[in-house]
Amino acid sequence: MSNSSSPLSNFKDATVLVTGASGFIGSHLVRTLRDQGAKVIGLGRTGQDGIFKADVTRISEVEAAFDACAAQFSKPVEYVFHLAGQKSIALAKEFPADTLRASLDGTVNILELARKQSGIKRVVLFSSIAVYGTKADDLSRPFLETDPLKTDSIYSTSKIMSESSGLAYASEFGLPVMIARLANVYGPGQSEMAVIPSLVAQMLKSNKVTIGNGSASRDFIYVKDAVEAILILVLSQTVKNGVFNIGTGHSSTIQELTQTLARILDFQGGFEVEPSKVRPNERLAVLPDVRALLGATGWSSRYSLDAGLHEMVKSLK
């Protein structure tokens, strides 16, 4: 798709600040924006690969990045995409204080600086459908954006804290804040702590694959689809603030996922359930309702699970 025909071409010459830019989703977002001609300042802890070194919990370092954008591009920041924060449910549980502190301090610093910045068109906070709860309950239907949120894990609590701060700034100061609650994003560059890269690594390195609960189902969305959906949503002229689930609207079980990967990789080994990978009292079915996203944008997923997995595997060769 050429830039001229892309629905994202309106980002051309826009000034954009992306936190967590060296991470899995952040790096794909930065690449997509730059491909569309956006002028991007990426923030990360390492400062590598053209990324501005900054810790979002230190407001002076984030302010320096805002200033760098104005100096480098002769125009202040117009769009902010805030992805920095804990990405792992397991690590959030292991480091609860650091996770909560980073989420709250980092988000508030971004919001406070954006509030004082003239010309801000949109601040996007990246959240997770984990805010609907990670523990089992009797809710079998897809999650709606209006459903109650549940602080039943450190990870979900960190996301709810970030969301609440953003909505408060939107209400008090009129800051145009959008919250993207992501389903299970996968794709090239993802850590092996995530289920799909873990399965791929096992199939490539061993003749035995261990899985958790094979009947658990999730909405797996390819990273290119997730980035495109959010960017189209951000450009919508009819949507100002709001909360949106980001997913395909379709679910697959871990067993189906594993079988698809085995076929793609021509894996001939065996499978077994590893009890330690089965989280106690874990919610089995996790599916977001994405009608709000589709209604606001008309967007639809371009990658089936099979197509996304094929592209991901191809990138490893």
Q: Which of 78, 74, 71, 80 is nearest to 21 (CA)?
A: 80
pLDDT at 1: 42
Q: How far is CA 18 from the centre of its chain?
A: 12
pLDDT digits (tens, 9 = 90+) for 147-187: 999 998 999 999 999 999 999 999 999 999 999 999 999 99
CA 143 – CA 290 distance, rounded (Å) = 9
pLDDT at 158: 97
DSSP 8-state secondary structure symbol assigned to residue 130: G
Contact 159, 84 (CB under 8 A): no
The CATH code belonging to domain 9-187+220-248+287-301 is 3.40.50.720
CA 85 – CA 57 distance, rounded (Å) = 10
pLDDT at 2: 41
Average pLDDT for residues 91-96, to the nearest whole number?
94
pLDDT digits (tens, 9 = 90+) for 55-68: 999 999 999 999 99
Contact 66, 117 (CB under 8 A): yes
CA 16 – CA 112 distance, rounded (Å) = 16
Global confidence as pTM? 0.94
pLDDT digits (tens, 9 = 90+) for 252-291: 999 999 999 999 999 999 998 887 777 777 788 889 999 9
- Give the domain ranges of the chain: 9-187+220-248+287-301
